[in-house]
Amino acid sequence: MPQIIPSIMANSQRELNQLMRKVEKITSIVHLDIADGTFVPTTMLQFPLKLLSSFNYQAHLMIKTPLPFIKRNLHRISLFIPQFEVFEFPQEYIDFMREKKLKVAFALHPETSVDRIKHFLQQIDFILILTVRPGYYGAKFLPKPLRKIKQIKKINPKITVIVDGGMNPTTIQKARRAGADVFISGSYVMTADDARTAMRELEGSLKK
C-alpha cells in the first residue's frame, strides 16, 4: 500500500512545534529534514530537538557527518536516511546499523547514479530518490531521477523506494508509475492552508 509522509523543515523549536501540530491529526509518521548548511546551502533543525511522542519519526540527513546525529537520536527516531555521497566507506555504516539492529537507508542526490551504490543495494532496506535539488521547500521537480527506481528494483526487488521532492497530485502519479512505494510531501502539505485536504488530494491521485 503506497504511503504519503509529510516532511518538516524548521529553524526553531517554535516553528517545529507549529508544523507538528499542523499534521498531528492526519499522520502518525513525520519526516524530518536535517540540513547542516554544508552538504546543502540551508540549515534546518540545527537545534536540540524536542519531539512529540505522538509521532514516529524518520530523518533525512543532509549533513556531512551524520553519525553523531544518529548516535544521539538512536532511541527517538525510527529510520535514518543519510546521503550516500557523504560516506567514504559505506560498508562500515551498514555494519554499524546492523549491529544496532536498525534498518539501513540511504538517500541519493539527483546527480548520483545507481552504479555508485549498486554493490550495496542487496544490503539496504530503504532508498530515498531525491527528485529536487535538496535543501528547500518548493524546489523544482526533476523527473529524470525516477528512472533510477526501475534500475534499483531490478537489483533488489525487496527494497522500499521513497521519492522525495516536488510531490503534488500530478508528480506523485509519475513517481507511483515509476515504481515508488513511499512519497514524501513537503511544501504541498506543509504550506497548504488545510493540510488534511492537501493529503487527501495526494491520496486521491494515487488511486487514479
Instruction: Tell me if 7 sits within 8 A of 34, measured CB to CB.
Output: no
User: pTM (2 decimals)?
Assistant: 0.96
Q: Each residue of 92-105: pLDDT tens digit?
A: 999 999 999 999 99
Q: Each residue of 100-119: pLDDT tens digit?
A: 999 999 999 999 999 999 99
**Rounded distance between C-alpha atoms, residue 12 and residue 196, angstroms:** 24
What is the residue-level pLDDT of the chain in tens, covering all 208 positions?
789 999 999 999 999 999 999 999 999 999 999 999 999 889 999 999 999 999 999 999 999 999 999 999 999 999 999 999 999 999 999 999 999 999 999 999 999 999 999 999 999 999 999 999 886 666 789 999 999 999 999 999 999 999 999 999 999 999 999 999 999 999 999 999 999 999 999 999 998 8
Q: Which helix (H) or strand (E) holds 91?
A: helix 90-99
Instruction: Tell me if 44 sits within 8 A of 11, measured CB to CB.
Output: yes
pLDDT of 138 reads: 66
pLDDT of 119 reads: 97
Q: Which grid coordinates are listed for 4?
A: 504519503
Amino acid at 83: Q
**Rounded distance between C-alpha atoms, residue 147 and residue 106, angstroms:** 17
**Rounded distance between C-alpha atoms, residue 46 and residue 155, angstroms:** 36
For 164, residues 6+ apart whose C-beta sits below 8 A from its C-beta are 7, 31, 60, 107, 128, 129, 130, 131, 132, 183, 184, 186
What is the span of the domain harbouring residue 157?
3-206
Structural Rg of the chain based on CA atoms: 16
Domain at 193, CATH number? 3.20.20.70
Q: Which grid coordinates are listed for 54?
A: 505522538
**Rounded distance between C-alpha atoms, residue 55 and residue 98, angstroms:** 24
pLDDT of 163 reads: 98
Rounded to the nearest angstrom, the gap between the alpha carbon of residue 64 and the centroid of all alpha carbons in its chain is 16
The structural domain count of the chain equals 1
pLDDT of 140 reads: 87
Residue 25 per-residue DSSP state: T
**Rounded distance between C-alpha atoms, residue 203 and residue 12, angstroms:** 30
Give the SS3 label for residue 75: coil
**Rounded distance between C-alpha atoms, residue 163 and residue 166, angstroms:** 9
